[in-house]
Amino acid sequence: MRAQFRVSNKLLPSITTLDATNNTTSSIVAPSSPGKQPLVDILDVPIKSKPKEVSMSAFSFLFSGIVQYYQERLTHGADLEQKLSDLGYSVGFRINEIILYREKNPQRKNRVIPMLQFISNTVWTMLFGKNASSLEQSTDSINRYMIYENQPIECGFISIPKNLSGLQCSYFTAGIIKGILTASEFPADVKVFPSQNKESTVFIVDFDYDVIDREELWK
Amino acid sequence: MSNIAKLQKVGDSTFGRIEKINSELLTMTYGSLVTQLLRDFEDTDAVNKQLEKMGHKIGVRLIEEYMAKSNPSAGSCKEFKDTAEAIAKVGFKMFLGFNAQVTSWNQEQTQFSLVFQENPLNDFVELPERLKTEGLFYSNLLCGVIRGALEMVQMRVECIFVKCPLRGDDVSEIKVTLIDYLKEIVLEDE
């Protein structure tokens, strides 16, 4: 697979490509049969301005298939949460790019609060069709913030059996948040807990102390 | 054929009624899943089989939702032909948001091909050369879903991915072959 450098200037929604190998023929397959056409480079395919829609049940079925797959292979519940978080992490990395591309006035966020507002408003709307329930800063520690969500999308059709009562399938969304934060240079750890009143789910975002030190420099 | 047009209307109206989400979430989630499977199983054939198996489990439950949400007045499928059109026009539309075409019927009317241009699972995906030569069917989950769903309505089929745009073809094509009809086994009380 040829390596590619992609320079994306986040102030302008355009992406320039530099091919490291200068090899222009590697992505073209000579048509050998009538049905085949030269492969188009993935980076040349235009991105539709309005995303398509699929049924929510398609995503729910896929997510349930994923959870079943991991349950067969893993013995500890905590590992399942980690695996879901890893899955969400790679989703978050990629979703970050497309959301910024589609934003009307894309601006790079270098402060923590605008970044978290971006996640709880723009990202949440793109993924779930609504804003997150609320965003709060913890009074206990300076690097901790909380995002509350009343109805996490992936857990809509999941019922947790009694022997796994501590399991949180929202770790997938937590992984997405972590992926977006890490891709935007805000390394953080995101955990999931049921909130105090057991009604909503809370995503606890613990930023790395480098991020907090950087915040201090801005003040 | 007016039956196809009727089914198309059923598919469109069902898709209009159900709750929808952004297709990119589905695309990225599926991509992460395939990437993770490729890491877990080194062998491409094993990944294809695992995707088909996962699809089968999904299909077994998906048929219930299909029956519940799509308008039952569209009529039951009297022949395999009707089943094929129902999958293409109603099934694909209500879950993935696009229509497929049914082509290439064989003489005994037991084998057909589902052809579709767009596939939200394939968006933003580029396969490395190694996986192309090793024969990874990226959307093999769909084959399993069809097999699982039809098994619940007493049809044993075999679904194979024939063409895939990620491997250079212009369309996606799934070949569905009817093997036999399953008899409903009624367990006798002892």
SS3 track for chain B: CHHHHHHHHHHHHHHHHCCEEEHHHHHHHHHHHHHHHHHHCCCHHHHHHHHHHHHHHHHHHHHHHHHHHCCHHHCCCCCHHHHHHHHHHHHHHHHHCCCCEEECCCCCCCEEEEEECCCHHHCCCCCCHHHHHHCCCCCHHHHHHHHHHHHHCCEEEEEEEEECHHHCECCEEEEEEEEEECCCCCCCCC
Domain ranges (residues) in chain B: 3-181
Q: What is the pLDDT of residue B71?
A: 66
Put simply, whether A108 touches B (Cβ < 8 Å) is no
pLDDT in tens, chain A (219 residues): 333 444 433 333 333 333 333 333 333 333 344 445 556 677 777 777 777 888 888 998 999 888 888 888 877 666 888 888 999 999 999 999 888 888 888 888 888 889 999 998 988 888 888 888 888 888 888 889 988 888 776 777 777 766 665 666 788 889 999 999 999 999 999 988 877 666 678 889 999 988 888 888 887
Q: What is the pLDDT of residue A15?
A: 37
Put simply, whether A86 touches B (Cβ < 8 Å) is yes
Which numeric CATH code is attached to B3-181? 3.30.1380.20
CA distance A173 to A171: 5
Class of domain A56-218: alpha beta
Q: What is the pLDDT of residue B147?
A: 93
* pLDDT-flagged residues of chain B (< 50): none
pLDDT digits (tens, 9 = 90+) for B46-97: 999 999 999 999 999 998 888 888 766 556 777 888 888 888 888 898 899 8
Put simply, whether A51 touches B (Cβ < 8 Å) is yes
Cβ–Cβ gap A57/B65 under 8 Å: yes
Mutation site for B-interface testing, chosen from A29, A43, A57, A128 by largest number of B Cβ within 10 Å: A57
Domain ranges (residues) in chain A: 9-44, 56-218
Specify the pTM. Answer: 0.84
Put simply, whether B35 touches A (Cβ < 8 Å) is yes
Cβ–Cβ gap B62/A61 under 8 Å: yes
